[in-house]
Amino acid sequence: MNRQLTDQVNAMARSAQWLIRWLVGVVACGSMVAMAQQPTAEPAKTAPLTAESNTAATQDFKSLDQDVQSLKKEVLDLNRELFTLEEELLFPANTQVAVFVSMDVGTFFGINTLTIKLDNKEVANYLYTDREAQALLKGGVQRVFIGNLKVGEHELVAFFTGQGPNQRDYKRGTTLSFEKGVGAKYLELKISDKQVREQPEFLVKEWE
């Protein structure tokens, strides 16, 4: 594996951990400041708060909240970069294969489950929620699998189950033999309606 990429991932992971600890510390300090500024049980012994002090305290809290929100964004951005680097490390372009799922119209089929086999080995078994199925119907594309394959000939088999025409249980499969060359390989499992037969159609496409 690429040693330089590994070092980058480790360095960014340490930075993310430091930022998270710092964020926790900032929130804790803010809480202590808030508690310290609350009136005590003996108001007679406490100096009255003026309008100026109230305004200053409000501004301090706003500034603290802005700092916390900004730091949260930095942590999220850093986590996204870490995720990308991790994928590059685990699934380098010369061996990477990814499988996506899409659905067109969906009048004749509502997906429930999807099982994928690569070279007769099960690599994905996915159960869809109603929300996920609706997202596909609205044009969403889901990456259901990412892995590594050596250069050469391979076979993908996909099994779909769901509700077919007239709300009947429906199970179909599709197969594709493909060649993995040098470079990433992307495959799309496309579910579409075949209006002539009023049946769903299941295809596998290779992205160029």
Bridge-based pairing state of the strands 142-148 and 96-103: antiparallel
Dist. CA 61–CA 48, nearest whole Å: 20
- 112-126 pLDDT, tens digit each: 999 999 999 999 999
CATH code for residues 96-206: 2.60.40
Task: Using the structure block, give the residue that is written with the tokens 């803010």.
Answer: 30
Residue pair 121/152 in contact by the 8 Å Cβ criterion? no
pLDDT above 60 for 5: no
* 144 within 8 A of 101, measured Cβ to Cβ: yes
Q: What is the CB-side half-sphere exposure of residue 54 using CA atoms within 13 A?
A: 5
On the question of pLDDT at 195 being above 90, the answer is no
Q: Please write the tens of the pLDDT for every residue from 126-165.
A: 999 999 999 998 999 999 999 999 999 999 999 999 988 8
* DSSP letter, residue 104: S
SS3 state of residue 69: helix
pTM: 0.61
